[in-house]
Structure 1
Amino acid sequence: MAYKNLLITGANGCVGQYLVDWFLKNTKFRLYLMVRDKSKLPISVQENKKVKLMVCDIRESNRYKKEISQINYLIHTATAWGDPKRAYEVNIKAFEELLKMLDIEKLEKIIYFSTASILDTQTELMRESLIYGTEYIQTKYECFQRLRESSFAEKTFAVFPTLVFGGNLGKKSKYPVSYLTSGLKEIGKWLWLARFLKLDSKFHFIHANDIAQICGFLIKNHKEEQYKGFRKYVLGQKFISIDDAIITLLKRNNMRRFFAIPLTKKILKILLRILPIQTTPWDNFSIKKYDFNHVPITNPETFKLKSHAKSLNDILRLSKLPSCNNN
């Protein structure tokens, strides 16, 4: 029996390692893992007989042109931000060069990772993302447009994660810690102040384990009629407000809230004018937009699976966030 070949780019990142773990446990696929630094992968993965490492920057992927031409499934998570030139080279140019090396006759499905920041409430492209967005957001917007119009569109699932949590704050986290989970360490410093503020801005979140579940389902069930064609999935749990999050954290830390000052969009704009805070055009647009909720939203329950982290309490428990001692 010929086993299928799955290529995962960015395989040593937080989401990437959850994906690797899921496919090793739940499939017989041969995994081709594109990584810049193989030392970030667990030894057990590096030495697994089902794994072939492709150690390179994605901009150098032509070094593995022969292997790429044999790929049946591609999950593309590799990305770049911070530098406009590098963001364009990685997020657009290198990805398109990678697509050219694939054999479209052998290729069965692509899962392309974008960002929910380029979509509006109804999950349509939001033009303001291209106007005000960071270089990361702008390049993701442009790449998505190009992919949608390419010959690979009918074989593509585009996934748009919302706020991603993963790994934990313990000394021996099995997985890399996501940027947001890492940021939870600072929460105790500001919770004493946050409890006096009320902000109803809405947002979604999702755990990397649940992202892996969804991607696994889409790959394994891609031949079913309802999963054919170019599809978009915004990945997240049901939205909560920032105030809901504050209340959850207060309860977890046995802290009381005696009163809360509502922070409306108008008040936020005034504060930004009078406080010595530098903001980007995207920051200003985000404040104006206020809510970051989407319809429809996709989570494991969408496919009759069970979420690893369905609530914020689940996220906090899995992150191993220590409690504050403030009263």
Structure 2
Amino acid sequence: MSHPSRILITGASGCIGQAVTAWLLEHSNARLLLWLRQPRKLAAIDRRHPRLELLVGDLRQPQRFRQQLAHVDRVVHTATAWGDPDRAWAVNVQAVKDLLACLDHRRLQQVLYFSTASILDRDLELLPEAEQWGTEYIRTKVTCLRQLMAHSLREKIVAIFPTLVFSGRIDDGGSCPTSYLTAGLRPFLHWLWLARFLRLDASYHFIHGTDVASVCGHLLTTPHQPGPQHWGGIHRHVLGQCPLTVNRTMAQLCRYRHMAYPPGVGLHHWLMQALVFLFRIQLSPWDRFTLQRRHFVHHPVTRPESFGLTSRFPDLETVLSAAGVPQRGRLPAADHGLRSCT
């Protein structure tokens, strides 16, 4: 960069926020404004770094930091909320609108807005079912994206759609926060001895938080350029490695854990429906849609190699190793105080 940019990172204590911050501290001379609620969660970076300024407060009160926001050049918006419908709307929709209103539109160069790949179909178009049947989190992400499509800043906005995100370790060791996906490895691996007998025709993408940071860092430290455009000019990137099938994943997990991968029983749709009925499992319309869809793949996907960089975690084996999953034997003990990915 020709001069030190001022970059705002919301949700800065989450796994993506901390990974992006660490990347920028190492690879740029930018001054970073970290908007967060709990500074004690900044385990992966030194909060006393001279290029850091902490904005401690709720995203729903941007007026508190109006002076700082007016001098921001770029924004990485990772903060989000789910669970409570009112809070999800306030954080995921209204707060985004209020944040953009506090920025100097003449000075602002770029906004990286984090959404979720769950709202997109294979061709990166919005899923009608996401808006119709989605959870409060899914619906608010669709609503916010539609509002950004019509915003006066839309040419400066890059929509980022992560797929399944790994980060941290299953024992919560190390400094990087543990994502919900990585934390979920522990209970799943305890049932691997049984799950390996099942087969499911499904596929997905994943990406590691470190590789997300690499892509975002590249976008933040190069001139803002037009990319693939849909939705009225908003650029978008679905972040993920090459797709994996569920059955191949099971085979790789068994090989990594030195377990046999025997012939299995197919989990056909009719069988899953029967199990739902037999065990009286309550499914929402969105749950039923995702069970029927099964193949969560997108084209094209963006990864570090898309920009001539190298993925640190390109495959499942490197992810499992970084997460502290032993190749055989018992799993390590975990601290149950989960550090969130967001």
What is the TM-score normalised by the length of structure 1? 0.96
C-alpha distance in structure 2 between counterparts of 1:3 and 1:238, whole Å: 35
User: 1:102 matched to which residue of 2?
Assistant: 103
Is 1:258 matched with 2:262?
yes
- Structure number with greater CO (CA < 8 Å, separation at least 6) is 2
User: 1:277 matched to which residue of 2?
Assistant: 281
Change (3 A) 1:135 1:261: same
**Match runs of 1:91-170 below 5 Å:** 91-170=92-171
Is 1:230 matched with 2:230?
no
Letter in 1 for 2:60: R
C-alpha distance in structure 1 between counterparts of 2:171 and 2:328, whole Å: 16
C-alpha distance in structure 1 between counterparts of 2:271 and 2:92, whole Å: 37
User: 2:86 matched to which residue of 1?
Assistant: 85
Letter in 2 for 1:279: L
Check conservation: 1:166, 1:208, Cα contact below 8 A. yes
CA displacement, residues 42-100 of structure 1 (integer Å, 9 cap, x when unaligned): 39521011000000010112100010011000000000001000000000001110000
Q: Deviation at 1:290?
A: 1.4
Q: Deviation at 1:185?
A: 1.2
Q: Deviation at 1:2?
A: 4.8
C-alpha distance in structure 2 between counterparts of 1:198 and 1:44, whole Å: 42
Q: Deviation at 1:277?
A: 1.7
C-alpha distance in structure 2 between counterparts of 1:227 and 1:282, whole Å: 28
Q: Which stretch of the first structure deviates more once superposed, 115-124 or 228-237?
A: 228-237
Q: Deviation at 1:227?
A: 8.0
Change (3 A) 1:267 1:44: closer
Check conservation: 2:11, 2:79, Cα contact below 8 A. yes
Check conservation: 2:43, 2:176, Cα contact below 8 A. no
User: 2:68 matched to which residue of 1?
Assistant: 67
% identity of equivalent residues: 39
Check conservation: 2:22, 2:44, Cα contact below 8 A. no
Letter in 1 for 2:318: D
Letter in 2 for 1:265: H
User: 2:11 matched to which residue of 1?
Assistant: 10
What is the TM-score normalised by the length of structure 2? 0.91
C-alpha distance in structure 1 between counterparts of 2:103 and 2:323, whole Å: 38
Q: How big is the alpha-carbon RMSD for the aligned residues of Structure 1 and Structure 2?
A: 1.7
C-alpha distance in structure 1 between counterparts of 2:106 and 2:279, whole Å: 58
User: 1:46 matched to which residue of 2?
Assistant: 47
Q: Deviation at 1:118?
A: 0.6
1:249 to 246, 253, 262: 253
Q: SS at 2:191's partner residue? A: helix
Structure 1 gaps, min length 5: none
CA displacement, residues 270-318 of structure 1 (integer Å, 9 cap, x when unaligned): 2222223222221111011111001111111111110011111111111
Q: Which stretch of the first structure deviates more once superposed, 53-62 or 266-275?
A: 266-275
Is 1:297 matched with 2:301?
yes
Q: Deviation at 1:192?
A: 1.1
Q: SS at 1:58's partner residue? A: coil
Check conservation: 2:257, 2:326, Cα contact below 8 A. no
Check conservation: 1:188, 1:324, Cα contact below 8 A. no
Change (3 A) 1:43 1:290: closer
Change (3 A) 1:253 1:156: same
Q: SS at 2:137's partner residue? A: helix
Structure 2 gaps, min length 5: 331-342
Change (3 A) 1:223 1:114: closer
User: 2:338 matched to which residue of 1?
Assistant: none
User: 1:27 matched to which residue of 2?
Assistant: 28
Letter in 1 for 2:252: T
Check conservation: 1:12, 1:35, Cα contact below 8 A. yes
